[in-house]
Amino acid sequence: MDLSDKVAIVTGSSKGIGKAIALELAACGAKVAVSGRNNETVEAVRKEIEQNGGEAISVVADISKMDDAVNLINKTLEKWERINILVNNAGITRDNLIMRMSEEDWEAVLKTNLTGTFNCIKSVTRQMMKQRSGSIINIASIVGIMGNAGQANYAASKAGIIGLSKSVARELASRGITCNAIAPGFIDTEMTNRLDEKVKEDLNGQIPLGRIGEVEDVSKIVAFLGSDDASYITGQVINVDGGLLIG
């Protein structure tokens, strides 16, 4: 995938799926703004991209705050004067059964996952409209489609991202801007690594392809959606789940 003429922002890109996305876009030739809450970890990803021959900047941002989202956009524009791809990946979990879930845990997850996505989209829209082009890619989850016990806040935030993606796609299509969501299933990250082997075996048995996904399974779809080859795809939700939600 050739993204050599693209500038991309990836939120929550210091580890896991976000890091894989940043590395994949850079490997395809894009200039990448790496973003997260921790300066040390985002700097490490920036350095890794540059060591691999890519071009990147790191911007510390808590995208649940509008001012931080605006600063992320502005820092990227100061460096490269355009933004072609925005990947809203930043997200947190605060799992608990709903009868035990605190208001603080509910609000924290909604604020980062859903409001943070809104903040970044709102902040980038003016520039993309000026360019009359752009690709917005939001990382949702199959949990936002099927629900999950103990994750009412997370499921609500990811379902909200799906609705937000479709609305943005309708609003911005006339300006040549696409907006799509990716809904990963169970992906091999720090979160799934905490599961014991029996739970992983049970998961594999539920997945038609018989395995938990790799971060690259998601990052390669992001690269495609950010490319010119995907210019006629908008308002879609692409499940990357090994067939878990077939039916």
Residues known to be catalytic: 154
Q: What is the C-alpha radius of gyration for the chain, rounded to an integer number of angstroms?
A: 17
Q: Which amino acid is at 153?
A: N
- CB-neighbour burial class of residue 35 (10 A; exposed 0-12, middle 13-18, buried 19+): buried
In three-state secondary structure terms, 187 is strand
Identify the sign of the CA torsion 184, 190, 195, 197.
positive
Q: Which two tokens stand for residue 56?
A: 């990147």
- Nearest Cα neighbor of 134 from 49, 219, 89, 73 is 73
- Nearest Cα neighbor of 126 from 94, 82, 164, 93 is 82
In 77-170, beta strands by DSSP E: 85-88, 134-139
